[in-house]
Amino acid sequence: MKRWFGAFLLSAALTAPITIPSIARADDDDHHYKRYYDAERHDYHEWNEREQRAYRNYYTHEHRDYVDWNRLNDEQRRAYWHWRHEHMEDFPERTDMPRDTR
């Protein structure tokens, strides 16, 4: 029994450094946003809070009912990206929020 307990303690001590960092990084997954490719402009857009705000503003500006991004077809997405590039200065990067420097 002592031998099994000692083996358990040894294995726990050896695996703890592996499991603890993965638990600590779990909250970092919330900060990875999905990227979408704009084929017309050949660039990527990160779907984050700023892009979501711009997308909602697009529907207000176009006087349309809101439709979730995932339900749009390719033509509707192209129309949004076209509008988005015309209104880039309306939705600047927020500089008042601290950035993660890790």
Using a 10 angstrom Cβ sphere, with 0-12 exposed, 13-18 middle and 19 or more buried, the burial of residue 80 is buried
Compute the distance between CA of residue 76 and CA of residue 97 in angstroms, rounded to an integer. Answer: 32
| pTM score of the predicted model | 0.58
Domain-by-domain residue ranges, the chain?
A: 33-91
Compute the distance between CA of residue 100 and CA of residue 25 in angstroms, rounded to an integer. Answer: 13
Query: 74-86 and 49-61 are packed helices; what angle lies between their axes, rounded to 10 degrees?
Result: 100
> What's the pLDDT tens digit per position in 20-70?
555 555 555 556 788 888 888 888 888 888 889 999 999 998 998 999 989
